[in-house]
């Protein structure tokens, strides 16, 4: 019995060492380890028969079994190290760069002038505590007009000014609709900023486009006055343009009262850059705010106008032409 088990152990050692040396992947090597040295492996199966041996035979067979186990483990470790080194070498060869090859030129990307203005304006207002909100570009008549104190007979609803859709919806003419949606969900005080694309049926020329971008701001709280509006607008314009003369001119918007246009003195002449005003009480009522408790102000500007002034662009259409000769200047 002893001689037979000894012969089996030595044969297992020889067989295992040969199989391990022939393993060509780490996965195959792990399979062999489990097969020979695992809990249910061949070596364990042979050793379980030692229970039938006498006390004098067990030490001899145990010593042989330990030798076989150590030999197989040594072979496994050696082959694993060789396979890992081979794997690393293959990876290095596959990832080797030929530094003598000419490089591939990839021109550095640039921020589009419109996106640059938007990012700059958002940074300024977020620094003042405003939250950025977004809304759908395809709007309902209610959010685009009715909730903003624009009755059905108002000129802004004219077919010549607005893109109406067959289902009765329309393409938003301003981002003020975002403010209505925001106020319906939030309670005062609020400070919200609404940037986005808007649509109007303008004849395209050097200063007009049927598609353009707006940024509108809204603040609602107890005790806000026109002075707060003027201070906010002045701080923003000075951050964008520098310390230049600013003036407010009386104007009209259906959703603010009183309303004003804001002019900036640029290169010796006055330029209209923003519209603003105190939120009309009817707008506050439409979203469930009590105008006896809360007041607010709103302001908005066209991003294209700011880009044309700051970058001295003579034609708004250049901003949409994707002409690299023009865009590389920024």
Q: pLDDT-derived band of residue 159, with 50, 70 and 90 as boundaries? A: low
**DSSP reduced 3-state for 138:** strand
Q: Taking a C-beta distance cutoff of 8 angstroms, is the pair 21, 29 a contact? A: no
Q: pLDDT-derived band of residue 117, with 50, 70 and 90 as boundaries? A: very high
pLDDT surpasses 90 at 73: no
Count of other CB atoms within 10 angstroms of residue 217: 26
Q: pLDDT-derived band of residue 126, with 50, 70 and 90 as boundaries? A: very high
pLDDT given for residue 1 in this prediction: 47
Supply the Cα-derived Rg of the chain in whole angstroms: 39
The per-residue pLDDT for range 301-313, each reduced to its tens digit, is 999 999 999 999 9
pLDDT given for residue 109 in this prediction: 82
Alpha-helical (H) ranges within the chain are 2-22, 26-37, 42-47, 57-94, 113-127, 141-144, 176-185, 226-241, 281-286, 303-310, 324-327
Count of other CB atoms within 10 angstroms of residue 213: 22
Count of other CB atoms within 10 angstroms of residue 317: 15
CA distance 290 to 73: 82
pLDDT surpasses 90 at 94: no
Torsion sign over Cα 148, 153, 156, 158: positive
Higher pLDDT, 180 or 35: 180
Top-confidence range, 14-28, 89-103, 240-254: 240-254
pTM value? Answer: 0.67
Q: pLDDT-derived band of residue 45, with 50, 70 and 90 as boundaries? A: confident
DSSP codes joined into one string, 166-213: TTS-EE-SSTHHHHHHHHHH-PSSEEEEEEEEEE--PPPSSS--SEEE
Q: Rounded mean pLDDT of 144-153?
A: 91
pLDDT surpasses 90 at 144: yes
**DSSP reduced 3-state for 134:** coil
pLDDT surpasses 60 at 133: yes
Is the bond preceding residue 182 a cis peptide, omega within 30 degrees?
A: no
CA distance 146 to 286: 9
**DSSP reduced 3-state for 89:** helix
Sheet of 295-302: strand order equals: 131-132, 190-199, 211-221, 295-302, 269-279, 256-266, 246-253
- CATH 3.30.930.10 is held by the domain 113-327: yes
pLDDT given for residue 136 in this prediction: 96
- Closest to 141 measured CA to CA, from 172, 166, 181: 172
Question: How many CA atoms lie less than 13 Å away from 274 in the CB half-sphere?
Answer: 22
Give CA torsion, residues 272, 278, 283, 287, to 10 deg: 120
């Amino acid at each position: 019995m002893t001689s037979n088990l000894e012969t089996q152990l030595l044969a297992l050692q020889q067989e295992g060492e040969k199989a391990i040396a022939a393993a060509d992947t780490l996965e195959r090597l792990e399979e062999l380890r489990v097969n020979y040295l695992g809990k249910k492996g061949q070596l364990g199966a042979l050793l379980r028969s030692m229970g039938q041996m006498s006390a004098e035979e067990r030490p001899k067979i145990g010593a042989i079994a330990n030798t076989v186990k150590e030999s197989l483990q040594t072979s496994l470790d050696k082959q694993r190290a060789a396979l890992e080194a081979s794997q690393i070498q293959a990876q290095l060869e596959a990832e080797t760069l030929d530094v003598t090859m000419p490089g591939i030129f990839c021109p550095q990307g640039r921020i589009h002038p419109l996106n640059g203005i938007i990012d700059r304006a958002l940074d300024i207002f977020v620094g003042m505590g405003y939250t950025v909100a977004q809304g759908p570009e395809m709007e309902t008549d209610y959010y685009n007009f009715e909730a903003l104190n624009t009755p059905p007979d108002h000129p802004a609803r004219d077919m010549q000014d607005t893109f109406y859709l067959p289902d009765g919806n329309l393409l938003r003419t301003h981002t003020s609709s975002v403010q209505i949606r925001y106020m319906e969900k939030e309670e005062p005080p609020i400070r919200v900023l609404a940037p986005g694309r808007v649509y109007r049926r303008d004849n395209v020329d050097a200063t007009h486009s049927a598609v353009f971008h707006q940024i509108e701001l809204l603040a609602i709280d107890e005790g806000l006055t026109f002075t707060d509006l003027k201070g906010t607008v002045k701080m923003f314009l000075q951050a964008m343009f520098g310390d230049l003369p600013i003036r407010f001119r009386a104007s009209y918007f259906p959703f603010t009262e009183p309303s004003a246009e804001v002019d900036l003195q640029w290169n010796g002449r006055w330029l209209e850059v923003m519209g603003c005003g105190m939120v009309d009480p009817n707008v506050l009522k439409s979203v469930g705010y009590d105008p006896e408790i809360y007041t607010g102000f709103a302001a908005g500007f066209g991003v294209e106008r700011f880009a044309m002034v700051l970058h001295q662009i003579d034609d708004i259409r250049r901003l949409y032409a994707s002409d690299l000769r023009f865009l590389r200047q920024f």
